[in-house]
Amino acid sequence: MSVAPDDGEATDVTAGDLVVFPRGRSGTWDIHTPLTKACLIS
């Protein structure tokens, strides 16, 4: 999947990556293939 902030460049996220987003972040998630596991803790 690719994750892009509203005001920036997209970053690819692949299996095994750990991603942390700051509070209040907004942007676009582009899912290239179906996900088998995703977790969101807020």
Q: What is the pLDDT of residue 20?
A: 86
Q: What predicted TM-score, i.e. pTM, was given to this entire model? A: 0.65
Q: What is the pLDDT of residue 15?
A: 83
Residues of the chain with pLDDT under 50: none
Give the separation between CA 42 and CA 4, rounded to whole angstroms.
19
Order of all β-strands in the sheet with 2-5: 11-12, 2-5, 27-30
Q: What is the pLDDT of residue 10?
A: 95
Q: What is the pLDDT of residue 26?
A: 93
Q: What is the pLDDT of residue 39?
A: 75
Give the separation between CA 41 and CA 11, rounded to whole angstroms.
20
DSSP 8-state assignment for residue 39: -
Q: What is the pLDDT of residue 28?
A: 94
